[in-house]
Amino acid sequence: MILFSTKDNPVPEGAEAGSITTPDGVALRFARWRPEEATRGTVCVFPGRTEKIEKYFETVRDLIKRGFAVAVLDWRGQGGSQRMLRNPMKGHVDDFADYGTDLDSFMREAVLPCCPAPFFALAHSMGASVLLDSARAGERLFDRMLLLAPMLELSLLKHDLAARRLARVLRGLGLSKLYVPTGKIKPLTEIHFDGNRLTSDPVRFARNLTITLEQPQLDVGPPTIGWMASAFDLMELFEDPATARAIRQPMLIVAGGGDRIVSTPAIERFARRLIAGSHVVIPGARHELLQERDIFREPVFAAFDAFIPGSRV
């Protein structure tokens, strides 16, 4: 397994890239950085849907500067990990529990045996939801988790209940592997900064687009019906007030006040019910908090430094 550099996004020094195989036979790409000066523990980074390890090189450097070792995972079906369908552009899982299998395999095989304790999590969007589900099930893989814009409810869907019903009906009809009805692959040459919902930073947006333009095999398109139906199943669990109250994992949730991908009000409702957690909303910030302008990104790391023990700045 290799990592890919671009002119404005070089691979951080000391990278180890590798592959593990899950119990159900899926090959996952991961990367580790274990500098000698990493005396504060290990931060495990879990990207969101469609993202790849390369998108987090800047974040890796920020974490190493703070005295941590870092490990990053490509979820199944995206980045440099094995795709789940013949069409590699389809973002598909049969069940979100499959991502839980990825999480457990990554920690057991790539992190716990060789990375320094204690272990912390930094997860974004879909990745944050997978970690929340793990905590809901009673797993305690991390001392603390910092979750960024977790996918608890989608802002993009104006008719959420109808979309849930449709996804489940289509799944029941055996159509799980088809794109969602609104799914359309947009050519990379037609993707522009203006009008994007992810970040207000044109420089980081261009950097991330260049990664995909130069390494299109890392890209993934819209989700399948199966992915969407399974996502709705998980998000429905998070709506139950008892779910948040049952979680004992210490965590801090950071949301963006300008997020138009996931629902910040839903995140706030969930976070207020947590026994061992809290939340912060960054006014004006869009969905990809670590890809945002410094005026929004710096508060994310201020929250990290305040919440994660041993952070050195």
Q: Are strands 27-33 and 15-21 parallel, antiparallel or unpaired?
A: antiparallel
pLDDT tens-place string over residues 242-263 = 999 999 999 999 999 999 999 9
Question: Quick one: pLDDT band at residue 310, thresholds 50, 70, 90?
Answer: low
The predicted-structure confidence for 91-134, as pLDDT tens digits, reads as follows 999 999 999 999 999 999 999 999 999 999 999 999 999 999 99
Instruction: Please check the confidence at residue 311 and state whether its pLDDT lies above 80.
Output: no
Is a pLDDT exceeding 60 seen at residue 230?
A: yes
HSE, CB side, 13 Å, CA atoms: give it for residue 198. 20
**pLDDT at residue 159 in the model:** 61
Per-residue pLDDT tens over the stretch 139-148: 999 999 999 9
pTM for the whole structure: 0.96
Supply the pLDDT for residue 162.
83
Task: Report whether pLDDT(189) > 80.
Answer: no
Share of the chain above pLDDT 70, in %: 97
pLDDT tens per residue across span 16-62:
999 999 999 999 999 999 998 888 999 999 999 999 999 999 999 99
Q: Is the pLDDT of residue 203 over 60?
A: yes
Q: What are the angstrom distances between the C-alpha of 5 and each of 22, 62, 69?
A: 27, 17, 20
pLDDT at 306: 96
Q: What's the whole-number average pLDDT of the chain?
A: 95
What is the mean predicted confidence (pLDDT) over 212-234?
96
**Domains (ranges, CATH) in the chain?**
15-307 (3.40.50.1820)
Give residue 280's pLDDT.
Answer: 98
Report d(CA 281, CA 152) in Å as an integer. 15
